[in-house]
Structure 1
Amino acid sequence: MFENLRLLTFDLDDTLWATAPVIMAAERQLHRWLMLHAPETAINRSIEAMREQRLVWMANNPSHAHDLTLVRLKTLEALLDEFGYSPSLAQQGLQVFRQARNQVAPWPDVLPVLQHLRRRYTLVSLTNGNAQVEHTPLKDCFHLSLSAEDVGASKPHPAMFHEVARWSGLTFPEMMHLGDDWERDILPATRLGMDTAWVHRKPLGGQYGKRADLCLFNLYPLLVYLR
């Protein structure tokens, strides 16, 4: 089983680390920054209101909704302008957010398993988010890292998978994708003919009828399955 595998693609958020605490911390950091540098914005717009503003912008600009960095920049520019501050401050605020966004804490199984797998396989990270892998504790684990921003589309669109095939020169049956989300990770990879590993670190709830080639609670079993 899996004898033909040569390349593994990994989702990041909620597959290799818990995402919600990181995003919440980064948004709080940005809000504190706004209180210092553009206080009227922070006084009049809560973190929740800013989040709603981004959702509205994405709904009104669907062709750019995959680019979460652009979404945050444009909505921050509009917010600053609304309260009489220079929109150019948005770039500084964005950097504050992104620096905090990269302060991820991979689960304990992640780093040792990736380091082991890297000796035999080509490893690629694929994310709909905007964490910068090169600024995280996993900076030396991947041969290539791609985001929705890089390819112009978010999973489940297959653009990232096709870019990996183009870059590597491999066929999809020579690849496995590992991710936490059935709709965005497992289903599109399966449709392309890739092997799949569904990494569900929480109970599945009502999703028990769905299947992948491997179903994992953490990455350690890969050391057995992918020798």
Structure 2
Amino acid sequence: MRFNRAITPVKVLSFDLDDTLYDNHPIIKAALQAQFDHLASIPQWQAKGPNYWRECRNRVGETQPELQSDVTKWRQVALRYGFAQLGFSERQAQEYANAAYKAFADARSNIVVSDDVLELLAQLREKYTLIAITNGNVEVDKFNLKGEFDLVLQAGPHGEAKPSRALFDKACALLEVNPSDILHIGDSLDTDVQGANNAGCYSIWLDNQNCIYSYKGLADIEITDIMQLALLTK
């Protein structure tokens, strides 16, 4: 654990979810495959070829850019658009889109967080309020993070995606704390660290992805393994 700046005592630990508390890459891969397998069972969609989904998603993203901060709604609208373009009625397009999204969402929540991480959260909960602030669309109530957080905020339904300060501001309002009472932990400099810094919260960067980021600011603390957070219980 490396400190780039001194921090004052905090009351709340805020966690990003994907690629912070679990490896999200195989989960997303499986969820996309589940969606593609479902769509391949529909002859009209299958006939459009392998790039049709991407074309629909990109088209909706271009015409409705506000959806890009709500990945769930973006996917749902793109699926509905795709079926409408195939000539399905509005009702049919919605029904087919719902079924395709369900295939994705069910696989998306097929997550098992390690016992070590769950034990870490239990230790941290003895000293801090634990919350989650995520840009993703995972539903924590569907896997073994259920009940681990006092508050879960998702980009889209609850506010603009990180690095906007919106979700952090909402957390402060709901918990009745100051920004400096929150320490946010995440794997992305561009979204997690920048977002927390924008909001006046403290930040911990989990540097374990070997990614290149555009944000040049510093996290208050840097770690390379989530288990290093056990030091916060001392």
Normalising by structure 2, report the TM-score.
Answer: 0.86
**Which residue of 2 is the match for residue 104 of structure 1?**
111
Deviation at 1:179, TM superposition (A): 0.6
Distance 2:122 2:134 in 1: 19
Query: Compared with structure 1, are the counterparts of its residues 15 and 144 closer, same or farther at alpha carbon in structure 2 (3 Å cutoff)?
Result: same
State the SS of the aligned residue for 1:112. helix
What displacement does 1:49 show? 4.0
CA distance in 1, matches of 2:218, 2:228: 17
Paired residues in the alignment total 225
Q: CA RMSD in A?
A: 2.3
In structure 2, what is the equivalent of residue 5 of structure 1?
Answer: 10
CA distance, structure 2, for counterparts of residue 225 and residue 117 of structure 1: 7
> Percent same amino acid at aligned positions?
28
What is the aligned partner in structure 1 of residue 132 from structure 2? Answer: 125
> What SS does the corresponding residue of 1:151 show, helix, strand or coil?
coil
Q: Does 1:24 align with 2:29?
A: yes
Q: Provide the C-alpha distance between the structure 1 equivalents of 2:67 and 2:228, rounded to a whole number of angstroms.
A: 38
Mapping of 1:45-194 within 5 angstroms?
45-46=49-50, 48-85=51-88, 86-87=92-93, 88-106=95-113, 109-194=116-201
CA distance in 2, matches of 1:206, 1:132: 27
Deviations along 1:151-188, one digit per CA (max 9) or x if unpaired, are 23111111100110001000011110001111211122
Deviations 1:67-121 (A, max 9, x none): 2111111111122223344202211221121111111243564222112111221
In structure 2, stretches of 5+ residues that fail to align are 1-5
Unaligned runs of 5+ in 1: none
Match for residue 197 of structure 1 among 201, 204, 208: 204
1:40 pairs with 2:44: yes
* Residues in 1 aligned to 2:38 and 2:63: alpha-carbon distance in whole angstroms: 27
**Which has the higher mean CA deviation after the structures are superposed, 68-77 or 171-180?**
68-77
1:218–1:78 CA distance, 2 compared to 1 (3 A): same
Instruction: Specify the SS of the correspondent of 2:130.
Output: strand
SS class of match (1:211) = coil
Check the 8 A contact 1:18/1:105 in 2, yes or no.
no
Scaled by the length of structure 1, the TM-score of the pair is: 0.89
